[in-house]
Amino acid sequence: MHHLITYLADAPWITFNTGAFSDQFWASTFDGLTYGSIYALVAMGYTLVYGVLQLINFAHSEVFIVGVYATVFALNAMGFGPSPVYPPMVVLIIDLLVAMVAAMIASGLTALILERVAYRPLRKRNAPRLVFLITAIGASFTIQYLIFVWRGGSNAEPATIMFVPDPVFEVFSTIIDSQQLTIFIAAIVLMVVTDQFINRTKFGRGIRAVAQDPDTATLMGVNKERVIMLTFVIGGVLAGAAALFYLMKVPQGASFNGGFVLGIKAFAAAVLGGIGNIRGALLGGLLLGVVSNYGVTLLGNSSWTDVVAFVVLVVVLMVRPTGLLGESLGKARV
Amino acid sequence: MTSDEIIDLVEMVVLVAVLVAVGKLFQRSKASGRLGEWWNSKSRVEQWAWLVPLIAVVVLIPVINPPFLTTEPGTNFPITMFNCALYALVALGLNVVVGQAGLLDLGYVGFFAVGAYVAALFTSPDSQLSKIPYLWTLPLAMVVTMFFGVVLGTPTLRLRGDYLAIVTLGFGEIVRLLATLMPPLKGNVGFQDVGHPPGTKADGGALFANTNGTPWYMLTIGIILIVLLLVGNLERSRVGRAWVAIREDEDAAEMMGVPVFKFKLWAFAIGAAIGGLSGSLFAGQVSFVNNQKFDVPTSVLFLAAVVLGGSGNKVGVLLGGFVIAYIPFRFTALASYKYLIFGVALVVLMIFRPQGLLGARQRLLARGRQAYQRLIGRPEQLSSDSSLVAEKAGDSA
């Protein structure tokens, strides 16, 4: 055993590149915030469904990847491709908005179908929790391999470049480009809108009521089934938006199992912030994005980001399983 | 779809439909009860007298090579049978976690991988570690994976079951990533010439060559039998009763004084150990280990084996493991659709037949009651429910 330990420890398989870390500290912070806002958008889907049904919707990562495919096809139809095109600003914005709407519809529909076909029959039967989880993983698997069969293999779609990032301004002598800014601002706006929707509108009150106590909410005249459908659709729509931003950041991101790892990271983000808590998802997403980006800079290989995210998840579960802001959609402040 | 694919699809659907229908009819009819009565009224010795010839037939299957089962000329039949047996062993291990204790482990392939790497690191000439005989890596792999199981289970098993599912899912992926990222584990290059048990054939070649499936199959069946005995004994002991209690209602079990966390950790660790054991068997037979074979889809296949066979029923999961491994070999035109098929199967099974082919029996008080009823000459009454079937009322999940 001792031999094994020295064997694994002596080999230079892990090196901490502190020089690169201090040089690129701000660059990796800003990039981390960009990725983090994507994680946060996806994490919202996990958190909303969990808040209402206490179910980890494993297939949410596939809801997201369907959105990525929709984005790719919408953009390709509008003439975007592997080499950048330079339409006028207004046209570009309209094109991107159209692609985003397409992704939102595709993802929202996927989430809705998933709810109807896979989860609803189980809810009617009062199935045990384990059954829901197994169904969720089965559904996730089914969607992945439907894409696999449809696209004829595991190859990712060719890159789709939306625009070439331009530098916008400088902070701490680090350039912030238009891409980072777009993603970050758009994601924050979407999340604030969702938060307000949940906290201020009648539908939002319904969601919170069902999250608190489904039976009482039903007795008070809330249509539980409709609330559940709405929750899935909102999660799906946000995942669709995230899909556009993800593709902006990772132009070759459309592959059949590309959602899987992002899904685990988004879930880790949701747990970090406190699952079931919308503002927690935002905080957790941004934090996880930054932390796992630091991990990449420090360890010098982008594959480590998944490992770092996973370690963060386990550490949070060990130290503070309710997350930073505590779990509960029902108790969301009004 | 080509005509080959259609023929295979039809054959497979017929096979599965027949299995499900037989299972269902059997459980609905009185035959099931009568067979159960008959079986349970036998003494232990008589049960064994029936089992021994059955086991002999199972052991000799690759030699008999029955024409309706054979996968030749596509795949060598003994190799297919070894894979089936391996999946059955994996399903048996995962069943301890999912079926007995009701914990969803989606990263079982992680333990499988750890077991395979233990075998590779300690026997392959590509590794710089000191070598030990192959057979010693089997218990070593169990110890190492048990350790991993405890490390992973300690933080997560205290929480609600859902967290375990996602943490294990992540674990399965991380093991694969680490195998890629850590140079001592050799990533894609992998380890050649993993060891095998001693023994030579008449012509001087190694008995356990990787082209020769039959001895590997028989070894695996032997191990399955040992594991069945051990797991069966656990199931009938205080530990097994604690597992069922936890599976059915964790809070109630806790209140009745069952140390829930301790027994969940035990189930998880024991399951992990069996996963590691099957991983090192796999490494030995294939004789090559790299980072490509331990992806999360394989984990889901393992889960599908347990769920299809009947979560919580030892015989059921053996059958499930067998079917899951057998289908891609037998219906080769469908092999590229196997993940899709099993993904759909999981959803459909959960909706229409959550207890799988053979449902689990709830034997909370089985041991004492069985002994008593054998004394008074009447068999035990068993219900054939499963942890996956909802109670008639009141269970709000």
Tokens linked to A204: 């939002």
List the 3-22 stretch of A: residues with Cβ below 8 A of B: 3-4, 7-8, 11-14
Residue A196 phi/psi, 5-degree rounding, is: -65, -40
Q: How many domains does chain A have?
A: 1
Residue numbers in A near B159 (CB within 8 A): 317, 321
Q: Which of B380, B89, B390, B367 is nearest to B239 (CA)?
A: B367
Q: How many CB atoms lie within 10 A of CB B72?
A: 12
How would you write the pLDDT of chain B (397 residues) with one tens digit per residue? Answer: 677 777 777 877 787 777 777 777 766 666 666 676 677 777 778 888 888 888 888 888 777 777 777 777 777 888 888 999 999 999 999 999 988 888 888 889 999 999 999 988 888 887 777 778 888 889 999 999 999 999 888 888 887 667 788 788 888 888 888 888 877 777 777 788 887 888 777 776 777 777 788 888 999 999 999 999 899 888 888 898 898 888 888 888 889 999 999 999 999 999 999 999 999 999 988 888 888 888 888 888 898 888 888 888 888 899 889 888 888 887 777 777 878 888 888 888 888 877 777 766 554 455 555 666 666 665 555 554 555 665 544 343 3
Cβ pair B275, B108 in contact under 8 A: yes
CA distance A50 to chain B (A): 10
Contact A79, A269 (CB under 8 A): no
CA–CA distance, B181 with B291 (Å, rounded to integer): 10
What residue in A sits closest to B152 (Cα-Cα)?
A314
Residues A317, B167: C-beta atoms closer than 8 Å: yes
Helix, strand counts (H, E) of chain B: 15, 0
The stretch A73-100 carries a mean pLDDT of 83
Phi, psi of A176, deg, nearest 5: -105, 125
Yes or no: say if A259 and A68 are a contact pair by the CB < 8 Å rule. Answer: yes
**CA distances to A36, A77, A91, A310, B43 from A288, in Å:** 6, 34, 34, 10, 60
Report yes or no on A55 lying in a domain. yes
Domain membership flag for residue A91: yes
Inside any domain, residue A297: no
Cα separation, B302 vs B110, in Å, equals 12
**pLDDT at residue number A111:** 92
Strand stretches in chain B, DSSP E:
none
Of A56, A122, A307, the CB nearest to B350: A122
Q: Which residues constitute the domain of residue A121?
A: 24-259
In a domain, A119, yes or no: yes
The pTM of the full predicted model, rounded to 2 decimals, is 0.82
Tell me: the pLDDT tens digits for A136-169?
A: 888 888 898 888 888 887 777 777 777 777 777 8
Q: How far is B140 from chain A (nearest CA, A)?
A: 10
The two three-digit tokens of residue A32, written as one number? 């981390």
- Among A44-53, A180-189, B20-29, B141-150, the minimum mean pLDDT is found in B20-29
Please check whether residue A321 touches B, CB under 8 A. Answer: yes
| CA atoms within 13 A of residue A39's CA, in its CB half-sphere | 35
Question: Does residue A4 lie in a domain region?
Answer: no
Cα–Cα distances (Å) from A71 to A41, A43, A147, B59, B288, in that order, read 16, 19, 15, 54, 41
Assess if residue A303 is contained within a domain. no
The pLDDT > 90 percentage for chain A reads 14
**A168 reaches B (C-beta below 8 A):** no
Q: In A, which residues are within 8 Å of B354 by CB distance?
A: 127, 131
- A141 → chain B, closest CA residue: B343
Q: Choosing among B109, B123, B166, B295, which should be mutated to test the A contact, i.e. which has the most A CBs within 10 A?
A: B166
Mean of all residue pLDDT scores within chain A: 83
User: What length is written for chain B?
Assistant: 397
Place of tokens 């057979």: B135
Residue of B nearest to A56 (CA): B162
Residue A332: both structure tokens together: 């969301």
> For chain A, what percent of residues have pLDDT higher than 70?
92
CA distance A167 to A159: 22
Question: Measured between alpha carbons, how far is A255 from A54 in angstroms, rounded to an integer?
Answer: 29
Of B159, B177, B393, the CB nearest to A303: B177
Contact B343 A127 (CB under 8 A): no
3-state secondary structure chain A: CHHHHHHHHHCCCCCCCHHHHHHCHHHHHHHHHHHHHHHHHHHHHHHHHHHHHCCCCCCHHHHHHHHHHHHHHHHHHCCCCCCCCCCCHHHHHHHHHHHHHHHHHHHHHHHHHHHHHHHHHHHHHCCCHHHHHHHHHHHHHHHHHHHHHHCCCCCCCCCCCCCCCCEEEEECCEEEEHHHHHHHHHHHHHHHHHHHHHHHCHHHHHHHHHHHCHHHHHHCCCCHHHHHHHHHHHHHHHHHHHHHHHHHHCCCCCCCCHHHHHHHHHHHHHHHHCCCCHHHHHHHHHHHHHHHHHHHHHHCCCCHHHHHHHHHHHHHHHHCCCCCCCCCCCCCCC
Residue B266's identity, in one-letter code, is W
State the pLDDT at residue B145. 94
Task: Look up residue B29 and give its amino acid.
Answer: S
* A311 belongs to a structural domain: no
Please report, for chain B, the start and end positions of each structural domain, with discontinuous segments joined by +: 3-375
Task: Enter the tokens of residue A57.
Answer: 């919707």
Q: What token pair was written down for B267?
A: 């189930």
CA count, 13 A, side-chain hemisphere, B194: 26
Contacts 24+ apart (CB under 8 A), B142-145: B142/B115, B142/B273, B142/B274, B142/B276, B142/B277, B143/B273, B144/B114, B144/B115, B144/B118, B144/B276, B145/B111, B145/B114, B145/B115, B145/B118, B145/B272, B145/B273, B145/B275, B145/B276, B145/B277, B145/B279
Determine the pLDDT at residue B222: 92
Mutate to test the interface with B, among A52, A61, A314, A322 (most CBs of B within 10 A): A314
Question: How far apart (Å, rounded) are the C-alpha atoms in residues A192 and B238?
Answer: 53
- The least confident of A188-192, A226-230, B153-157 is B153-157
Tell me whether residue A299 is in a domain: no
Q: What is the crossing angle of helices B296-309 and B338-352, to 10°?
A: 40
Task: Sort out which chain B residues have CB atoms less than 8 A from A117's CB and list them.
Answer: 347
Residues of B in contact with A318 (CB under 8 A): 155
Separation between Cα atoms, residue B272 and residue B105, nearest integer Å: 10
**Per-residue confidence (pLDDT) for residue A138, from 0 to 100:** 86
Query: What CATH code would you report for B3-375?
Result: 1.10.3470
